[in-house]
Structure 1
């Protein structure tokens, strides 16, 4: 049951990053009247995504920690590292990069740099969540977690 819960949490985390970053936000910029309007809406959605990422990460860490007594598989142990990395990336984007994007947009600063950094960190978080899902589903299929 706990291993299934960890897979569901990892799938929710990865799927929400996928849907937002590769479907929803590009659609906003394609269909809203102005890039400023799309950017404002995207920022709100990325903030919501950050809180979902934090919740999924913390719950994954709790579930995997409870499984510690059952001796986690090497794949599940590796997943913990990626959960922590994804959690740190989510927090850094929200509280480090996003405020600089807002400042750069308002003051004519280096928006391109901050937007590129935020995009790279979102992709890195997506990879961490995907690898977490991969590790947890592999260890469950092998009957190890």
Structure 2
């Protein structure tokens, strides 16, 4: 049961990052009347995505950590991807997004944010890949 919950959470994390970042937001800029309108909606979507990411990572941490593991037990496989993805989501939401919304050095912060989003997407994908591989 925990394995299925973890796989579902990992798929939701990676899939939502993919859909928002690579499909929905580009469509906003292509189809809304002004870039300002698209930017405002994109900011809301990225905030929602940050919280989806946090929730998925928390579920993954709970589902992949063994309760009966003693002090000498090893960390769950892929823990570094989970923690890096969580850190990136929080840094995007609280460090980068406010600067983009304030239009503070927009080119720099948009580039930093895009790079961090891509890194989070890679962390989620690597964890999903690792979790989905056959055991045995």
How does the TM-score come out when normalised to structure 1? 0.86
Count, aligned residues: 132
- Is contact 1:2–1:67 with CA below 8 Å preserved after alignment? no
Deviates more, 1:11-20 or 1:57-66: 57-66
Which residue of the other structure, out of 106, 109, 113, is the alignment partner of 1:111? 106
Moved over 6 A (4+): none
CA distance in 2 between counterparts of 1:142 and 1:65 reads 17
Deviation at 1:92, TM superposition (A): 0.1
Q: Which runs of 5+ in 1 are unaligned?
A: none
CA distance in 1 between counterparts of 2:21 and 2:107 reads 17
1:121 aligns with 2:116: yes
Q: Which runs of 5+ in 2 are unaligned?
A: none
Q: Deviations over 1:69-113 (max 9, x none)?
A: 4xxxx9x8332110110000000000000011122x2xxx41000
SS in 1 for 2:76: helix
Query: Which residue does 2:86 correspond to in 1?
Result: 87
SS in 2 for 1:100: helix
CA distance in 2 between counterparts of 1:28 and 1:4 reads 34
SS in 1 for 2:77: helix
Q: Pairwise CA RMSD of aligned residues?
A: 1.6
Task: Name the one with the larger helix percent.
Answer: 1
Deviation at 1:59, TM superposition (A): 0.8
